[in-house]
Amino acid sequence: MHQILSRETIGPDVCRYVVEAPEIARRRKPGQFVIVRICEGGERIPLTIADADPQAGTITLIVQTVGKSTLQMSRMGPGDLLADVAGPLGRPTHIGNFGTVVCVAGGIGAAPLFPIVQALHLAGSRIVTLLCARNADLLIMEEDLKAVSDELIVMTDDGSRGIRGLSTDGIRMLVDRGLAIDHVFAIGPPVMMKFVCKLTGELGIPTTVSLNPIMIDGTGMCGGCRVTVGDATKFACVDGPEFDGLQVDFDELIRRLGAYKDREKEALEHFRSDCRLGQ
Amino acid sequence: MDAKERLAIPPQPMPEQSPHERIGNQREVPQGYGPEAAMKEACRCVRCKRPFCTEGCPVGIDIPGFLEAVEKGDFALGIRIIKRRNVLPAVCGRVCPQEAQCQLGCTVGKFHHDPTKSVGIGKIERFLADWERATGKVEMPTKAAPTGRKIAVVGSGPAGLTVAGDMIVLGHSVTVFEALHKPGGVLVYGIPEFRLPKEIVSREAENLKALGVEFRLSTVVGRTYPMEEVLEDFDAVFIGSGAGLPKFMGVPGENLLGVFSANEYLTRANLMRAFDFPANDTPIFRGRKVITVGGGNVAMDCARTALRMGAGRSLIVYRRSETELPARIEEVHHAKEEGVEFHLLQAPLELIGDERGWVSGMKIEKMGLGEPDSSGRRRPIPIKGSEFVEETDSVLVAIGNSPNPLIPSSYPAVETNRWGGIVANEATGQTSVRGVFAGGDIVLGAATVILAMGQGRIAARAMHAYLLTGRWDDLEQAVSAQGGMQ
């Protein structure tokens, strides 16, 4: 059992949790994730580790409410217990001084991107962060990312904050500005990563993405998280979650993410009606 | 009773849920012997001078011994005899391939020229374990005085549970690390409820806890806890992390929606109890016409689970013929009774998808049988021009598993073979690293519960000798010097 120490709403349907998990806090590295099971009968959901405090023995999870489990979690608070938190899983990010790095965060993607930016920054890379969201309300972790970036540019699709435009517009803008980009890290909705990679592929810029497909065990056992990378099938849980974005078959990833859409809706409705009954 | 009278007793049938009834529930299919049937079945044993049954048992249970106890109605003695060699009798009585092991050499079966008429050793073993559990007084083995030594067991499947059970009794302190949230490994995520009720597995784990074994669940050795640190904190380690990496066919279309590894499908159904969705959160895809590829026990489990998930048709596509099916005879029999269709001598060539990316058909090629291959089974040979398309809305790939890569990849010090399995000494379970032992599917590749237990037993014995003597390079001699271990 893992106690939730704090919960804070940081955006519409987005919460930041600090959870007691001393062993994970001590060993996690940027790019890794945990599998959380909220309660008995709960599903196993992969959540990226946004931050950790090894001294305090805590990890930070930033979770967007998208289905039954995340909704249930959003109703939990300090003192509540998560049944299981297993991890840290996945291969850590390869960190180094990559020269000039553009880090693209799309919406909730800012959470998994933050520890990577932090580590790249420490390793001496020069970092320009593009913090992108559909609108101003959906921007998260701006201050955290600003502190570890050489430059942070805020962009929204509707122009409600920062520069109006998509993440790809941001990359083009930087290139037009004469920035010689050595590497791009992009984490966000699969559609965003797809178009970022399409552009960086054309520009010939190596690009790393972090994928969050459907998975159960997170240890290589189920194969539910398989993705096509180049000519090969890879398991995101043990071979990833980070991959060469220029090689990822995003259309397949997007299709596979929708595999249980109807069932997920059903579970959510079931949970909501149960909650009403309980009131 | 003389041998002639014994041979005249017909095999005692075990009551089963009818096929029609059972595909509508998750309950166990064979319902077990009552005391009378068990005693009568035990009478069929002719007490051969040379017990071929015991020789065929990977853990060497004194089978004539426990059969005699059952015949006399001394069930407590019967289960005690089994437990000298086997810590998981309720499991093994259900899932061991007895027809290929203890019951294979049985004189009674040979006399009748019919291996299915061998003494029902597995059924009686199951009876004894169930009888003991039902009495509520599970007899605990006596523990030796504490040795002060600490061992770690990585993985709580059949190999790991065996090592834990043996080592705790020998007086060592035992901690079992399990990556998933329940103990049991393949016994909980792989084997379905209708073949092995999960209640039984959790009771076995509870018994080990009562003996003092500590379980640390949701703890991934190699990630949460690196092997290097495990070795610092414990005097010896047993790796039994299993063959949990599903193989795929490598045909086009395998990543279409509706195509699942057997592991994923069975884990959803068994570990996550998706059959009770949405009361449990994890969903499972309920196909209408499900094709399972493969011919082993796991394939049978998939095809039969699909029926219980409401499939109108459940097909097995297997590239060899019925004789080569690796599954237990009983599983094939039960699958057929339940209406699973066996499409033999057929091999998938390609999976075809619809416009939304869901699987809609399987292109299949028919096969003939050629000369025996390296496995001793006749090699399937494609028949040119025989391709056709079978419509389907879900495909379950049950063609085997490779050793789980988590530990080998995070701990390169331990030597592996070209299939990614850990190399271990057959006689001792020793790996290339001092103090580290391994056994079960991480060494064997996907095999059986009882073989894993057999390896666990061998490793436990060697580990015990290692902890007492500190010898490593000549550990095999140290083990034999110590003599047999009960």
What's the CA gap between B263 and B163, in Å, rounded?
A: 25
DSSP string of B394-443? EEEE-S-EEPPSHHHHH-TTS-B-TTSPBP--TTT-B-SSTTEEE-THHH
* B281:A27 CB<8 A: no
Between B65 and B58, where is the model more confident? B65
Q: How far is B104 from chain A (nearest CA, A)?
A: 33
By residue range, what is the domain housing residue A132? 100-257
* B281:A228 CB<8 A: no
When divided into structural domains, chain A yields a total of 2
Whether B308 has a pLDDT exceeding 70, the answer reads: yes
* A263:B255 CB<8 A: no
Asked if A81 is an interface residue toward chain B (Cβ–Cβ < 8 A), one would say no
Mutate to test the interface with A, among B215, B217, B221, B224 (most CBs of A within 10 A): B224
Return the pLDDT at A279.
42
Assess whether A168 and A123 both reside in one domain: yes
| Domain-embedded: residue B237 | yes
Of B150, B167, B194, B168, the C-alpha closest to B335 is B194
Assess whether B236 and B197 both reside in one domain: yes
Assess whether A64 and A180 both reside in one domain: no
Q: Between the CA of residue B458 and those of A156, B203, B235, what are the distances in Å? A: 63, 24, 18
Residue located via tokens 């080990």? B208
Q: Which residues of A209-225 are buried (b: 16+ CB within 10 A; e: fewer)?
A: bbbbbbbbbbbbbbbbb
Asked if A69 is an interface residue toward chain B (Cβ–Cβ < 8 A), one would say yes
Task: Decide if B442 contacts B423 (C-beta within 8 A).
Answer: no
* CA B454 to chain centroid: 12
Of B39, B12, B30, the C-alpha closest to B93 is B30
Mutate to test the interface with B, among A221, A273, A275, A277 (most CBs of B within 10 A): A221
| Domain-embedded: residue B120 | yes
Task: Decide if B268 contacts B284 (C-beta within 8 A).
Answer: yes
Task: Decide if A217 contacts B269 (C-beta within 8 A).
Answer: no
Using DSSP's 3-state secondary structure scheme, residue B34 falls into coil
pLDDT grade for A276, boundaries at 50, 70 and 90: low
| Domain-embedded: residue A276 | no
Residue B247 token pair: 């193989």
Whether A275 has a pLDDT exceeding 70, the answer reads: no
Residue B58 token pair: 């990977």
* CA A82 to chain centroid: 20
Q: Between the CA of residue A5 and those of A17, A44, A252, what are the distances in Å? A: 7, 21, 38
Over residues A49-105, the pLDDT tens digits come to: 999 999 999 999 999 998 889 899 999 999 999 999 999 999 999 999 999 999 999
| Domain-embedded: residue B435 | yes
Assess whether B276 and B174 both reside in one domain: no
What's the CA gap between B83 and B453, in Å, rounded?
A: 13
Task: Decide if B220 contacts A89 (C-beta within 8 A).
Answer: yes
Residue B438 token pair: 């391994």
Type and span of the H or E element at B254: none
ipTM metric: 0.91
Q: How far is B484 from chain A (nearest CA, A)?
A: 37
* B224:A83 CB<8 A: no
Q: How far is B246 from chain A (nearest CA, A)?
A: 6
What's the CA gap between B466 and B463, in Å, rounded?
A: 5
Which of A70, A89, A108 is at the close of a domain? A89
Over residues A107-145, the pLDDT tens digits come to: 999 999 999 999 999 999 999 999 999 999 999 999 999
Residues in chain B: 486
Q: Flag the least confident range among B65-69, B207-211, B277-281, B318-322.
A: B277-281
Type and span of the H or E element at B188: helix B186-189
For A216, the closest of B223, B272, B279 (CB atoms) is B272
Q: Characterise B376 by phi-psi region: left (phi > 0), alpha (psi -120 to 50), beta (else).
A: left
CATH number at residue A244: 3.40.50.80
Mutate to test the interface with A, among B280, B281, B298 (most CBs of A within 10 A): B281
Assess whether A38 and A62 both reside in one domain: yes
Task: Decide if B19 contacts B308 (C-beta within 8 A).
Answer: no
Phi, psi at residue B374, to the nearest 5°?
-60, -25
For A41, the closest of B244, B279, B409 (CB atoms) is B279
Residue B444 token pair: 């064997």
Q: Which residues of B touch A27 (CB under 8 A)?
A: 223-224, 226
Phi, psi at residue A220, to the nearest 5°?
95, 0
Residue A208 token pair: 């790393």
What's the CA gap between A204 and A187, in Å, rounded?
A: 18
**Residues whose CB is less than 8 angstroms from the CB of residue A161 and which lie 6 or more positions away in sequence, other chains included:** A135, A136, A139, A154
Assess whether A128 and A175 both reside in one domain: yes
Assess whether B395 and B411 both reside in one domain: no
Task: Decide if B139 contacts B132 (C-beta within 8 A).
Answer: yes
Phi, psi at residue B73, to the nearest 5°?
80, 10
Whether B467 has a pLDDT exceeding 50, the answer reads: yes
Whether B132 has a pLDDT exceeding 60, the answer reads: yes
Q: How far is B268 from chain A (nearest CA, A)?
A: 8
When divided into structural domains, chain B yields a total of 3
What's the CA gap between B303 and B314, in Å, rounded?
A: 6
Residue located via tokens 């240890």? A219
Assess whether A147 and A217 both reside in one domain: yes
Asked if B357 is an interface residue toward chain A (Cβ–Cβ < 8 A), one would say yes
* A224:B264 CB<8 A: yes
| Domain-embedded: residue B56 | yes
Type and span of the H or E element at B417: none
What's the CA gap between B8 and B389, in Å, rounded?
A: 51
In chain A, DSSP finds a helix count (H) and a strand count (E) of: 9, 16
How many CB atoms lie under 10 A from the CB of residue A75?
Answer: 12
Assess whether B314 and B355 both reside in one domain: yes
Asked if A27 is an interface residue toward chain B (Cβ–Cβ < 8 A), one would say yes
What's the CA gap between B176 and B412, in Å, rounded?
A: 22
What pTM was computed for the model?
0.91
| Domain-embedded: residue A193 | yes
Assess whether A118 and A218 both reside in one domain: yes
Residue located via tokens 């990585």? B154
pLDDT grade for B483, boundaries at 50, 70 and 90: low
List the 33-52 stretch of A: residues with Cβ below 8 A of B.
35, 37, 41-44
Assess whether B426 and B362 both reside in one domain: no
List the 196-225 stretch of A: residues with Cβ below 8 A of B.
216-217, 219-224
Assess whether A118 and A212 both reside in one domain: yes
Q: Flag the least confident range among A15-24, A177-186, A269-278.
A: A269-278
Return the pLDDT at A266.
86
Q: Which residues of A108-145 are buried (b: 16+ CB within 10 A; e: fewer)?
A: bbbbbbbbbbbbbbeeebbbbbbbbbeeeebbbbbebb
pLDDT grade for B58, boundaries at 50, 70 and 90: confident
Residue located via tokens 């019967």? B78
Return the pLDDT at B270.
94
| Domain-embedded: residue A140 | yes
DSSP string of B296-335? SHHHHHHHHHHHHTT-SEEEEE-SS-GGG--S-HHHHHHH
Q: Which residues of B touch A233 (CB under 8 A)?
A: 248, 254-255
For A217, the closest of B258, B267, B409 (CB atoms) is B267
Task: Decide if A192 contacts A207 (C-beta within 8 A).
Answer: no
DSSP string of A78-89? TT-EESEEEEEE
By residue range, what is the domain housing residue B394? 248-399
What's the CA gap between B106 and B14, in Å, rounded?
A: 19
Over residues A196-219, the pLDDT tens digits come to: 999 999 999 999 999 999 999 999
Assess whether A25 and A119 both reside in one domain: no
* B283:A267 CB<8 A: yes
Assess whether B440 and B361 both reside in one domain: no
Q: Which residues of B touch A190 (CB under 8 A)?
A: none
Mutate to test the interface with B, among A27, A40, A219 (most CBs of B within 10 A): A219
Beta-carbon pairs below 8 A across chains A and B: 123
